[in-house]
C-alpha cells in the first residue's frame, strides 16, 4: 500500500505521514464556538475530519480524536445578555444543536470533547509557565502574550509581525506591542469569571486549545485540524503559546476550506447562513454528507440545494446498485472487508485524503458491475458488491448502516407514495388503451430521474441521474 501523504499548512508541502508513536494517531480538531446553532459551513469541518479519522482507523491506527467546545466567549455572553439568561444556557443549548448535527450527518463521536470552562486550572498553569519563560505578562488583570518574544511568530500564516494589523485599543489596555494578544481577560461587571493569580476573569480564545490539547494528547501530537479561517489568529496563537510553554505541539496542520454561498464565506455576519436543522428538512442527511465530503477538503465548496440534489442523485446510483445486487444474490446483509477495497481507491485516499477521486473509483466499479447485472451474471458482481460497500464504509456512507437504512426507509416511503400516484395513473391509461398517455407518464418520470420497470411482481421504480434539459 502507498503510504499516506498529507498537505501540511505549516510547511506548505505534501508530506509523508509518520506518527509520533507507531500504530497510534492523536488528532485535535477545533470544534464549535457554541454561540448559535450550526450552519452548513460549520459542519463541513466535522465531516472532513470524520473521514480523516475513519481512513486512519481503516489503515490500522488507534486514533484518539479530540474535538473541543468553546463554551465561553464575547458572543456567547452577548447573546446570553440579549436573551436575559446565564451564559451557560446559551452554550449548552447550542452545544446540543451541534451534537445533533454531527450525529445526523453520521460523524463518529469524538474520543473526548472537552469544554473550555472545565479546564481553567490547566490554562492558569500554562499561562504561568509562559510568563515564567518571559513570553507573557500580566497587565491590570489581563494576561498577554508577547509576540516580539517569539522569533517564529507568524510562520503558520506566512506573515511578518510588522505587517499584522495592530489593535486600536492597545495603549488603553497597556500592551507592550499593539499586536500582543490576550490569553486571559480581566472580569467586566456582571460577566462570568474565574479567580486567578492575576485577578478574576475569563479565558481568551486561544489559551483553551493549547491547554486542552496538552491535557488530552500530550505536549506533542500528530495532527491539528480546523477551518482555514482559524489559521490566523487562532492557530498561529496556539502555536506561540504552546511552544513558549515548552511543548513541541502539533506535527501536522490540516485545514479545510470554506463553504460559500453566492461566492462568499458562509457566516452569520453575512446573513447567508443555512442552519443544518433547516437544510435537513428538505435534503436527506446522507445526500448532504455525500455532497460535503465529495469535494476535496482543501477546496472551496459552493452550496446550493440544486447542487446537493445533483450529488444525491449520484449517490442514489451507487445505492441502487447495492440494492439490485443484494436482491440478485438474495443477500440480506453484506459484511465490510477492508481487503476488498479497490487498490486505486486506497491510493487516492492516501493522497491527502482525495475523496473526490476515491468516489470516482466507486462509480467506476458500479458501472462495470451494473453491466454484469444487465447480462444476468449475478454471481460475478458479488466481489464488486463487497468492494463498493467496503469503500463506502470508510467514507461513513455505507447505505447498509442502520442510520442510513432508517433514513432511506422514511425517504423511500414518501417518494414511493408520490411515485405510486403516477404509476396508478399510468396503469389506468394502459387499461383504457391510452398508450400515448401511459408513455408520457413514464417518460416524464424518466426525465426527472425515476425509472420504471415492469416485472412479474408488478411495477418497481429506481432513482438514477435525470435527463438533461435538452433531452427529448
331-383 pLDDT per residue, tens: 999 999 999 999 999 999 999 999 999 999 999 999 999 999 999 999 999 99
Largest pairwise CA distance in the chain: 91
pTM, two decimal places: 0.88
Domain 308-399: assigned CATH number: 1.20.120
Confidence of residue 105 (pLDDT cuts 50, 70, 90): very high
Averaged over 381-388, what is the pLDDT? 97
Considering the chain, what is the average pLDDT of its residues? 92
Confidence of residue 416 (pLDDT cuts 50, 70, 90): low
C-alpha 158/C-alpha 468 separation (Å) is 45
Tens digit of pLDDT for each residue in 292-342? Answer: 999 999 999 999 988 998 999 899 999 999 999 999 999 999 999 999 999
C-alpha 445/C-alpha 261 separation (Å) is 31
Alpha helix stretches (DSSP H) within 190-258: 205-217, 236-244
Averaged over 426-436, what is the pLDDT? 92
Domains of the chain, by residue range, sit at 5-134+149-156+204-265, 308-399, 404-463
CA 432 to chain centre: 53
Spatial contact of 110 and 95, defined as CB atoms under 8 Å apart: no
Strands ordered across the beta sheet of 301-302: 264-265, 259-261, 301-302
- Decide which of 3.40.50.720, 3.40.50.620, 3.10.129.10, 3.90.640.10 is the CATH code for 5-134+149-156+204-265: 3.40.50.620
128 burial via Cβ count (<10 Å: 0-12, 13-18, 19+): middle
Contacts of 325 (CB under 8 A, 6+ apart): 331, 369, 373, 378, 381, 382, 384, 385
pLDDT at 386 over 90: yes
C-alpha 279/C-alpha 306 separation (Å) is 12
The answer to whether the Cα torsion of 328, 332, 336, 339 is positive or negative is: negative
Tens digit of pLDDT for each residue in 87-103? Answer: 999 999 999 999 999 99
For 84-104, b where at least 16 C-beta lie within 10 A, e where not — what string?
eeebbebbeebbebbbebbeb
Q: What nine digits make up the cell of 74?
A: 464575547
Averaged over 407-412, what is the pLDDT? 71
Amino acid at each position: 500500500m502507498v503510504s499516506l501523504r498529507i498537505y501540511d499548512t505549516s510547511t506548505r508541502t505534501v508530506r509523508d505521514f509518520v506518527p509520533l508513536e507507531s500504530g497510534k494517531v492523536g488528532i485535535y480538531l477545533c470544534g464549535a464556538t457554541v454561540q448559535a446553532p450550526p450552519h452548513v459551513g460549520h459542519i463541513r469541518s466535522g465531516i472532513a475530519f470524520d473521514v480523516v479519522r475513519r481512513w486512519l482507523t481503516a489503515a490500522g491506527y488507534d486514533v484518539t480524536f479530540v474535538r473541543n467546545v468553546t463554551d465561553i466567549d464575547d458572543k456567547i455572553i452577548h447573546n446570553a445578555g440579549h436573551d436575559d439568561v446565564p451564559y451557560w444556557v446559551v452554550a449548552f443549548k447550542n452545544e446540543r444543536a451541534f451534537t445533533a448535527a454531527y450525529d445526523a450527518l453520521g460523524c463518529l463521536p469524538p474520543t473526548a470533547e472537552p469544554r473550555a470552562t472545565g479546564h481553567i486550572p490547566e490554562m492558569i498553569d500554562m499561562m504561568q509557565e509562559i510568563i515564567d519563560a518571559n513570553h507573557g505578562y500580566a497587565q491590570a488583570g489581563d494576561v498577554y502574550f508577547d509576540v516580539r518574544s517569539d522569533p517564529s511568530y507568524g510562520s503558520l500564516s506566512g506573515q511578518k509581525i510588522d505587517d499584522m494589523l495592530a489593535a486600536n485599543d492597545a495603549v488603553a489596555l497597556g500592551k507592550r506591542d499593539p499586536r500582543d494578544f490576550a490569553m486571559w481577560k480581566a472580569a467586566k461587571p456582571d460577566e462570568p469569571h474565574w479567580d486567578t493569580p492575576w485577578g478574576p476573569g475569563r479565558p481568551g480564545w486561544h489559551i483553551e486549545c493549547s491547554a486542552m490539547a496538552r491535557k488530552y494528547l500530550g505536549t506533542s501530537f500528530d495532527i491539528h485540524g480546523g477551518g482555514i479561517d482559524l489559521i490566523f489568529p487562532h492557530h498561529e496563537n496556539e502555536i506561540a503559546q504552546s511552544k513558549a510553554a515548552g511543548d513541541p505541539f502539533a506535527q501536522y496542520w490540516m485545514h479545510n476550506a470554506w463553504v460559500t454561498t453566492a461566492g462568499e464565506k458562509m457566516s452569520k455576519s453575512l446573513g447567508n447562513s443555512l442552519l443544518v436543522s433547516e437544510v435537513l428538512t428538505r435534503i436527506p442527511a446522507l445526500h448532504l454528507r455525500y455532497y460535503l465530503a465529495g469535494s476535496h477538503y482543501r477546496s472551496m465548496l459552493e452550496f446550493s440545494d440544486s447542487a446537493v440534489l445533483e450529488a444525491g442523485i449520484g449517490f442514489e446510483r451507487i445505492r441502487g446498485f447495492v440494492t439490485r445486487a443484494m436482491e440478485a444474490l438474495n443477500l440480506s446483509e453484506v459484511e465490510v472487508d477492508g481487503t476488498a477495497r479497490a487498490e486505486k481507491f486506497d491510493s487516492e485516499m492516501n493522497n491527502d485524503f482525495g475523496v473526490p477521486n476515491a468516489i470516482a473509483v466507486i462509480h467506476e466499479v458500479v458501472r462495470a458491475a451494473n453491466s454484469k447485472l444487465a447480462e444476468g451474471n449475478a454471481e460475478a458482481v458479488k466481489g464488486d458488491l463487497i468492494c463498493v460497500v467496503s469503500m463506502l464504509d470508510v467514507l461513513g456512507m455505507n447505505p447498509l448502516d442502520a442510520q442510513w437504512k432508517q433514513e432511506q426507509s422514511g425517504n423511500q416511503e414518501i417518494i414511493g407514495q408520490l411515485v405510486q400516484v403516477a404509476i396508478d395513473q399510468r396503469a389506468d391509461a394502459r387499461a383504457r388503451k391510452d398508450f400515448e398517455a401511459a408513455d408520457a407518464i413514464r417518460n416524464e418520470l424518466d426525465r426527472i430521474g425515476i425509472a420504471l420497470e415492469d416485472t412479474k411482481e408488478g411495477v418497481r421504480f429506481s432513482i438514477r441521474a435525470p435527463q438533461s434539459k435538452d433531452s427529448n
